[in-house]
Structure 1
Amino acid sequence: MSGDERGRSGMEDYPLSAVPDEGRQEFWPITLVLLGFTFFSATMWGGASIGVAFRFWPDLVWIILWGNAILAVYVAGLGYIGFRSGFSTVLSARFAFGDIGSRWSDTLLGLTQLGWYAWGTATIAIALVRLLNLDAGCAAPLMIVFGLGFCMTAYVGCRGLAALSWIAVPAMLLLIAVSIAVALRDAGSAAGPLAAGTLTVAEALTIVVGTFVSGGTQVANWTRFAGSGRVAVGSVLIAFFVGNGLMIAVGAVSAAIYGVSDIVEVLEIQGLLFAGILLLFLNIWTTQDNTIYNFSVAGCHFWRTERRRLITFGGAAAGTLLALAGMYDWLIPYMVMMGVLIPPLGGVIMADFFVGHRGRYPPLDGAAVPRFNWRGLAAYAAGSLAALVVPGIPPVNGIAAAFLIYACLIRFTAWRTRKRPVPSRDIASDAPARPNFRR
């Protein structure tokens, strides 16, 4: 790649190539971007559903800790791959599924993020109409404003995401801390919530892991910019164990004390409406820009173009149209479907990198990538089936099954290659001899 080409690719955040050394970043910019991504209202809703089903101590605390530990370990593995290779998730998928086969992962990951962008756009518009007592007809214009406005930081790229997160993440942490302090005062005790639901432990863990397993599968889109493995893995653990765990805990405690799951509604009840509106705005924006950034990376790979900024704006427009079409009401079936289809992608990618390529991809421009990697596609299908029908935690079942099946297929292929007959030649006649089987 020439200097001019690398410069243009850098302006677009290297959508079709590895991030070079000069594009790498330190710990805090990546950590704050990922924290902004995991600070999301929908995660609080997941926490609320388990907050009324278990005693605070020790049941609820252990479920939150174990669920987020499972999520963080999985995402950390993918984050390390992003650092080591410099590739986005969809570029790694090209090795795992083939040049054409990887377009399935592009489509799945892209549409997932587009749906979340539409839901977030609708959420803030509907919430503001309610909180400010606006006319219901204001919802649609607000969706258009926010749908097109929230993509601006993603349009800039990782620099724009980081700049917003430097301001938004500390502000959100402060507002959440104030709200929790007031909530604990109102409850009179930190361990007061009573169990009132009927969830099993497996179902509760599924909710905790499933809240961000789809977004976490694309974590390499950010950790490819990490300057070291410690930066990549450390930032992921803080965001997906601490950050996502905090959102689950806030939703659980809020539901148990006030009977509502959303921290914004809690702040309204506490008489802190302005703080609630500010938190809502920052909460949605820091997730929306990361979400549409993911869409743009997947779109660039699907169309094999480096015009990431153009795809960012096009995706935001499409997400806005979905919001206007009523995406807000489709969240639950959408989350269930994504919890089955997305996690096995990560399982195959990790098996392909750690087992198939032994921790190092070849250069992308010189690699012999097949059109379809049938081992990866078969392992993905089996992982999705396991997530759908095997008892337990569906996302974990999908990841584990996809990883193990792909690893076994790699070993089986290597064994067949060693056992394949190797023709030898008769030195005197130079004619092919009978096959000579290796033992």
Structure 2
Amino acid sequence: MAAVPEESRQGWMSLTVVLFGFTFFSSTMMAGGQLGKALGYGAGLAKAVLVGNLLLAVYAAALSYVAFRSGLSTVLMSRHCFGARGSALADLVLGLTQVGWYAWGTDTVATVLIQTFHWPSELYVPMVLLAGLGFSITATIGYKGLEVLSATTVPLMAGLIFWSGYIALAHPSTPGGGGGEMTLSQAVTIVVGTFVSGATQSTNWTRYSRTATSSVVVTFLAFFLGNGLMVGYGALAGSVYQNSDVVAVLILQGLFAPALFMLLANIWTTQDNTIYNFSLAGCHFFRTERRRLVTFLGAVLGTLLALFGFSGYLVPFLLALGTSIPPVGGVILADFFYCRRGAYPSLAS
């Protein structure tokens, strides 16, 4: 609930592994798979991926610069531009979007494991409970827990994605045209929506940056290359195999064990970041320092949403995020650069 002090600032490598771990997310690949099926693997898809991720990266990098300068997270920045009471609405919007993503990831893990191993459907509820509460463990530790997990899994996931992409390109069914049921503007909105809530809250990590350069450059690369790789790979898989489920695609390619690793590692490195984001928004909303308790309560809420079938609304959720979240970050940027002239007063004042 305060600015990050100088002695707690982190180097660029630490920030890189955390942010790339955050942007390596299965839902982004699955959204890309739906784009590939709709647009085909051609110029239209390339334009949507390029434009969408460029907008996302510039937006996230600008917010990260503000985070470096101020040492504040997004929810604390919102108190400057929306006021003590008005910022509560931003807390709700940002916090609930993260719980929505947490619900999706929790349901995905349970569903895919049950389908892959042909387990009885009665195991769905206990699997959701186990995943929903288990994913929150590293988030309760804080930044260091997120860094250790991401540093271990991100290089392995990147290698697996390139390996699978190579197999897809060599597949007899070459990438072709899509169904054409999606406009370019809708596709760009979905690309932005895949991670605009995460981009808005990337400040939760970039506030730890030691330099402005590392904050801006690492954030831009994580969202342009990291998120772009997820969307592009998902689109390739969706176009070749006509299947937006990347885990199913890996299994079709004969990569059964890597598919399970991808499922667990990919989702875990984002789930812990997601519920960490919720904990910061929740702590600010309730004006409490009990972050671990708020983290646990957020995990419980996300788990309940998963049990009630939230994941069936992924595309409408993405479209809603792509249009409702950017104004929050836009107001923060305008307030900082235009109204505050690049420097916030202390929150106490």
For residues 333 and 46 of structure 1, the distance between their equivalents in structure 2, rounded to whole angstroms, comes to 11
Q: Give the counterpart letter for 2:287 in structure 1.
A: R
Per the TM alignment, residue 187 of structure 1 is displaced from its structure 2 partner at its CA by: 4.0
| In the alignment, structure 1 residue 172 sits paired with structure 2 residue 157 | yes
For residues 338 and 206 of structure 1, the distance between their equivalents in structure 2, rounded to whole angstroms, comes to 9
CA contact (8 A) 1:254 1:266 kept: yes
CA contact (8 A) 1:151 1:292 kept: yes
For residues 245 and 53 of structure 2, the distance between their equivalents in structure 1, rounded to whole angstroms, comes to 20
Larger deviation, residues 49-58 vs 344-353: 49-58
Any idea what SS the aligned residue of 2:170 has?
helix
In structure 2, the residue matched to 1:115 is: 100
For residues 141 and 67 of structure 2, the distance between their equivalents in structure 1, rounded to whole angstroms, comes to 21
For residues 51 and 217 of structure 2, the distance between their equivalents in structure 1, rounded to whole angstroms, comes to 18
CA deviation profile, 1:332-391 (whole Å, cap 9, x unmatched): 3333333332211011000000101011101222x2xxxxxxxxxxxxxxxxxxxxxxxx
Identical-pair percentage:
50
| In the alignment, structure 1 residue 129 sits paired with structure 2 residue 114 | yes
Larger Rg: 1
1:308 to 291, 303, 307: 291
CA contact (8 A) 2:42 2:176 kept: no
Q: Give the counterpart letter for 1:173 in structure 2.
A: A
| In the alignment, structure 1 residue 291 sits paired with structure 2 residue 274 | yes
Could you list the runs of 5+ residues in structure 1 that have no partner in the other structure?
Answer: 1-15, 368-439
In structure 2, the residue matched to 1:152 is: 137
For residues 57 and 128 of structure 2, the distance between their equivalents in structure 1, rounded to whole angstroms, comes to 33
In structure 2, the residue matched to 1:208 is: 191
Q: Give the counterpart letter for 2:46 in structure 1.
A: V
In structure 2, the residue matched to 1:416 is: none
TM-score, structure 2 as length reference: 0.96
Q: Give the counterpart letter for 2:108 in structure 1.
A: T
CA deviation profile, 1:397-422 (whole Å, cap 9, x unmatched): xxxxxxxxxxxxxxxxxxxxxxxxxx
CA contact (8 A) 1:52 1:193 kept: no
CA contact (8 A) 1:45 1:262 kept: yes
Higher-RCO chain (CA-CA 8 Å, sequence separation at least 6): 2
Larger deviation, residues 327-336 vs 307-316: 327-336
| In the alignment, structure 1 residue 275 sits paired with structure 2 residue 252 | no
Per the TM alignment, residue 188 of structure 1 is displaced from its structure 2 partner at its CA by: 7.3
For residues 241 and 213 of structure 2, the distance between their equivalents in structure 1, rounded to whole angstroms, comes to 40
Q: CA RMSD in A?
A: 1.5
| In the alignment, structure 1 residue 42 sits paired with structure 2 residue 27 | yes
Per the TM alignment, residue 328 of structure 1 is displaced from its structure 2 partner at its CA by: 2.1
Structure with greater helix percent: 2
In structure 2, the residue matched to 1:401 is: none
Q: Show the 5 A alignment for 1:238-277.
A: 238-277=221-260
Q: Give the counterpart letter for 1:331 in structure 2.
A: L
Could you list the runs of 5+ residues in structure 2 that have no partner in the other structure?
Answer: none
Per the TM alignment, residue 200 of structure 1 is displaced from its structure 2 partner at its CA by: 2.3
For residues 200 and 314 of structure 1, the distance between their equivalents in structure 2, rounded to whole angstroms, comes to 39
How many pairs align? 349
For residues 222 and 258 of structure 1, the distance between their equivalents in structure 2, rounded to whole angstroms, comes to 36
Question: Cα 1:68–1:278, aligned 2, differ >3 Å: closer, same or farther?
Answer: same
2:3 to 18, 29, 48: 18
TM-score, structure 1 as length reference: 0.77
For residues 93 and 110 of structure 1, the distance between their equivalents in structure 2, rounded to whole angstroms, comes to 13
Per the TM alignment, residue 93 of structure 1 is displaced from its structure 2 partner at its CA by: 0.1
For residues 169 and 323 of structure 1, the distance between their equivalents in structure 2, rounded to whole angstroms, comes to 26
Question: Cα 1:332–1:62, aligned 2, differ >3 Å: closer, same or farther?
Answer: closer
Any idea what SS the aligned residue of 1:98 has?
helix
Question: Cα 1:208–1:187, aligned 2, differ >3 Å: closer, same or farther?
Answer: farther
1:31 to 11, 16, 21: 16
In structure 2, the residue matched to 1:398 is: none
For residues 256 and 245 of structure 1, the distance between their equivalents in structure 2, rounded to whole angstroms, comes to 16
